[in-house]
Amino acid sequence: MATKDKNIYDESKIKTLSSLEHIRARTGMYIGRKGSGAHYDDGVYVLVKEVIDNSIDEFIMGAGRKIKITIEDKQVSIRDYGRGIPLGKVVDCVSEINTGAKYNDDVFQFSVGLNGVGTKAVNALSESFTVKSFRDGKSVEAHFQRGVLIDKTRQKATKEANGTYVTFIPDDEIFGKWTFKHEHLMRRFRFYTYLNAGLAIHFNGEVLASENGLLDLIRDDSQFEKIYPPFHHIDKTLEIAFTHTNRFSEEYYSFVNGQFTTDGGTHLSAFREGLLKGINVFAKKRFDGDDVREGVLGAIAIRLKEPVFESQTKNKLGNTEIRADLVAKIRDIVADLMHRNPKPAEKLINKIEETQKLRKELQSVKKLARERSKSVSIKIPNLRDCKLHYHKDKIKGEGTMIFITEGQSAAGSMVSCRDATKQAIFTLKGKPLNVCDLTRDAIYKNTELYNLMRGLNIEDNIEGLRFNKVVLATDADVDGLHIRNLIITFFLRFFKSLVERGHLHVLETPLFRVRNKKETIYCYSETEREKAIKKLKNGIEITRFKGLGEISPNEFKDFIGPEMKLTPVEISEDHLITEVVGFYMGKNTRERRTYIMENLESVQ
């Protein structure tokens, strides 16, 4: 059989793309994920970051202590008061790849942008992009559409202070349907101020600033949870701050040249090891790393002349050659800080010794739990497993999920219509234990919660998580919502990183079915029900689904199939988690009831 012409591989199939075409065709190489704006690392926030990074570089070099940011709908405007782009190179600096001053150590010593791509990518991925530069009483302005120069003004006189102004609108052709989330923007801007003490960011009329750098970050994040006042050190190339809380996880913020490295890297691993060694040097003991780091809340920021990141989005530092020296430096700094601050140091050591004691007790509880589960059943009770697992193969396991549901009737409908390759089901027996005010040993003593941990493979930590998505599938009634909140409390209290990494979701199922002889419409709210009634008009049958068990398997397969509606459980403010969970799920029944009654009318 002859080969079709379209499959012939010859010179005609070789293409050379311009830098603009390449950025728009291979967006992920330049800004990572596109996203809808729902996730902190989505592309629209990377565009904002790339422009602000240039302004931060100016601040680091001592030029400009204020950045004005205005975001209205989808339009972003950023004005700094730095040195301004050299007027003869304004167009080149925002449109020509590998063009910029970041290669020159005399001009930018500790820059985030080292490859001359940042604002070029913003320009190429924006529906419209305008740049203005003000230098010594003169200015130049240039306008672009989707990376193409439309208009440029000649140098003209101006009374504006030195600096650069950029305004752009991310291109819907690239990003599709998206919106900015205020909390993601605020988090980024606050990080900038923590990392650059003395910088003022004016965002939509609100002024953000920090006087004490990472010390303020750790204070704000720990608030009433910190066991002792945070330790803090800062010099030209390194800043660290840390304290302990009663949380069960270790949590860190890591930065390189002002860039939030969400995936850590060499500097973070060096911080963790240096912290352990420094504490052991001070205490003249050999504490175990798990005992030292449980409950640690820390932050590290370093400045490097030649940082090596693992991608253009700079989420992980790869400079392995700095590790040994950095570990030794942090070790000495930590030991010195503890010698200089004996009272906080004493509280730190007491915390570690208490953790050490509790961990030994917990090991015996875990051992008993494992022996109990083995004596009952070889398999995990109430788990209908699937064939693929996330921890064994991240690529094939990307679509794996486990539905946590209540009762056998709901589970029965789901089991008969699920994709057994990627979808597992864990069935709860009634309402799970409220663990809000309990210690870790309680979840191992509780049979159902322990079986759930076994099913997820998170008995010790979440690194072995067997499913990419953990999906809460409860009834849309009071009891179902209560169960949902109890399970969310369980994860937030003991496995918060599972939530932070985006694994926990809620399954949205319809509340109503509106149908006539010709058409069926599933409605997820009363508003949707009213629209469906108006559309179908005559001969209507309306069904209110009181529980998932009332939905037949034939219907259910649509709700857990390709068109499945999942709502991620997200954390907007880390430092409020303990307070919020404690208020809504704790023992303060009277206070909570009063709050609900006082706010019931406004909610209605």
Looking at the structure, tell me whether residues 25 and 130 fall in a common domain: yes
The last residue of a domain, from among 192, 209, 226: 209
The last residue of a domain, from among 355, 373, 397: 355
SS3 at position 183: helix
pLDDT for res 536: 92
State the pLDDT confidence band at 116, using cuts at 50, 70 and 90: very low
User: What CATH number is associated with residue 486?
Assistant: 3.40.50.670
Looking at the structure, tell me whether residues 81 and 189 fall in a common domain: yes
User: What CATH number is associated with residue 236?
Assistant: 3.30.230.10
Looking at the structure, tell me whether residues 202 and 314 fall in a common domain: no
Q: How far is it, in rounded angstroms, from Cα 424 to Cα 173?
A: 37
Looking at the structure, tell me whether residues 533 and 478 fall in a common domain: no
State the pLDDT confidence band at 598, using cuts at 50, 70 and 90: confident
Nearest to 291 by CA among 326, 244, 324: 244
Whether residue 507 is predicted with pLDDT greater than 90 in this model: the reply is yes
Whether residue 595 is predicted with pLDDT greater than 80 in this model: the reply is no
Looking at the structure, tell me whether residues 482 and 583 fall in a common domain: no
Predicted confidence (pLDDT) per residue in 175-193, tens digit? 999 999 998 999 999 999 9
Look at the chain and report how many structural domains it folds into: 5
pLDDT for res 276: 98
Predicted confidence (pLDDT) per residue in 527-547, tens digit? 999 999 999 988 899 999 878
User: What CATH number is associated with residue 68?
Assistant: 3.30.565.10
State the pLDDT confidence band at 287, using cuts at 50, 70 and 90: very high
Q: Who wins on pLDDT, 413 or 152? A: 152
pLDDT for res 16: 67
Does the residue 228 lie in any domain? Answer: yes
Q: Who wins on pLDDT, 230 or 363? A: 230
Does the residue 14 lie in any domain? Answer: no
CA distances (Å), 425 to each of 408, 411, 419, 496, in order?
A: 11, 7, 11, 22
**In which domain, by residue range, is 585 found?**
572-604
pLDDT for res 602: 56
pLDDT for res 179: 95
Does the residue 16 lie in any domain? Answer: no
Share of the chain above pLDDT 70, in %: 92
Whether residue 101 is predicted with pLDDT greater than 60 in this model: the reply is no
Looking at the structure, tell me whether residues 450 and 596 fall in a common domain: no
Looking at the structure, tell me whether residues 161 and 304 fall in a common domain: no
pLDDT for res 9: 74
Does the residue 231 lie in any domain? Answer: yes
Looking at the structure, tell me whether residues 119 and 231 fall in a common domain: no
Does the residue 465 lie in any domain? Answer: yes
Summary mean pLDDT of the chain: 89
Looking at the structure, tell me whether residues 320 and 188 fall in a common domain: no
Residue with tokens 């030794």: 328
Does the residue 8 lie in any domain? Answer: no
Does the residue 3 lie in any domain? Answer: no
Contact 122, 51 (CB under 8 A): yes
Does the residue 599 lie in any domain? Answer: yes
pLDDT for res 378: 63
The last residue of a domain, from among 169, 191, 209: 209
Predicted confidence (pLDDT) per residue in 124-139, tens digit? 999 999 999 999 999 9
Least confident of 134-143, 465-474, 543-552: 543-552
Whether residue 103 is predicted with pLDDT greater than 60 in this model: the reply is no
Looking at the structure, tell me whether residues 192 and 221 fall in a common domain: no
Contact 369, 391 (CB under 8 A): no
Predicted confidence (pLDDT) per residue in 362-387, tens digit? 989 988 888 887 776 667 888 999 99
Q: Who wins on pLDDT, 574 or 123? A: 123
Q: How far is it, in rounded angstroms, from Cα 315 to Cα 260?
A: 7
Looking at the structure, tell me whether residues 394 and 349 fall in a common domain: no
Looking at the structure, tell me whether residues 225 and 321 fall in a common domain: yes
